Amino acid sequence: MSATPTELTLRQLRADGWPLVQVVEVWNPHARIRQDLFGLVDVLAVGPQGTLAVQTTSRANVSARVRKIADSPTIAAIREAGWTVLVHGWHQPKGPGTRWVLGRVVDVS
C-alpha cells in the first residue's frame, strides 16, 4: 500500500471539507503497539458539522472494527457527547494503476 488507511482517511476528510483533522492514535514504544484515542479512534475531525471520530482499516477488517467499537467501554460516553463515529474500510480494486478507494463506511454512532 503506497499510503496507509489512516493517510487515506486524512485526505478524504480534508477533501470533504473538515477544517481540523488530526491523527489521534499513537505508537507506544514500551508496549510496542498502536493505541487509539479512547481505545477506538484513529482520526478525529472537528468542524461546523460537529465532531467526527474515525476508525480506519482495510475493507476486509471493517466488521472486526465495528465489533471492537461495540465492545468498547468508552463508546457510550462518545455517543452521549454527540460525536459521529465511522469506520472507514479501504481497498484497492484489481487491475494495473488502480487507486485505493473508500470501499465501505459504517456509521456506528
The pLDDT assigned to 93 comes to: 85
Per-position pLDDT tens, the chain of length 109: 478 889 999 999 999 999 999 999 888 899 898 888 898 999 999 999 999 999 999 999 999 999 999 999 999 999 999 999 999 999 988 877 778 889 899 999 9
β-strands 84-91, 50-58: how paired?
A: parallel
Global pTM? 0.88
- Residue 21 CA to residue 19 CA, distance in Å, equals 7
Strand partners, 21: 45
Q: CA 88, 89, 91, 93 torsion: positive or negative?
A: negative
